[in-house]
């Protein structure tokens, strides 16, 4: 369980970093992180980090795919996470 929580923390920090990095690359006109990569991070229980990065850096907030998709993934992940925690108790 402890290892899983460390994983959750790490993947979400990575999600925030990925959004920050992609935002900076977009401002400099450099090669960007593919949207599929950002969704893969979100799907690997990093949706909270991606969501925080979206809000913190105002990045991908005009793309409906992100505005709707990331919160939807987050809700599903929270449901799964709390269902798993409840099962452990």
Size of the chain in residues: 89
**28, 40 Cβ separation under 8 angstroms:** no
pLDDT at residue 87 is higher than 70? yes
- In degrees and rounded to multiples of 5, residue 8 shows phi and psi of -60, -45
What is this structure's pTM?
0.91
**13, 49 Cβ separation under 8 angstroms:** yes
Residues 14-43 have pLDDT tens digits of 999 999 999 999 999 999 999 999 999 999
**67, 27 Cβ separation under 8 angstroms:** no
Q: How many domains does the chain have?
A: 1
- The share of the chain scoring above pLDDT 70, in percent, equals 99
pLDDT score at 89:
62
Show the domain range for 27.
2-88
């Amino acid at each position: 369980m402890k290892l899983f929580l460390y994983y959750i923390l790490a993947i979400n920090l990575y999600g925030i970093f990925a959004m920050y990095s992609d935002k900076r690359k977009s401002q400099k006109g450099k090669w960007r992180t593919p949207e599929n990569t950002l969704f893969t991070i979100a799907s690997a229980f990093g949706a909270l980090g991606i969501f925080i990065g979206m809000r913190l850096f105002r990045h991908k907030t005009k793309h409906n795919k992100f505005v709707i998709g990331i919160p939807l993934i987050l809700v599903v992940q929270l449901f799964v996470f709390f269902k798993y925690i409840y099962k452990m108790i």
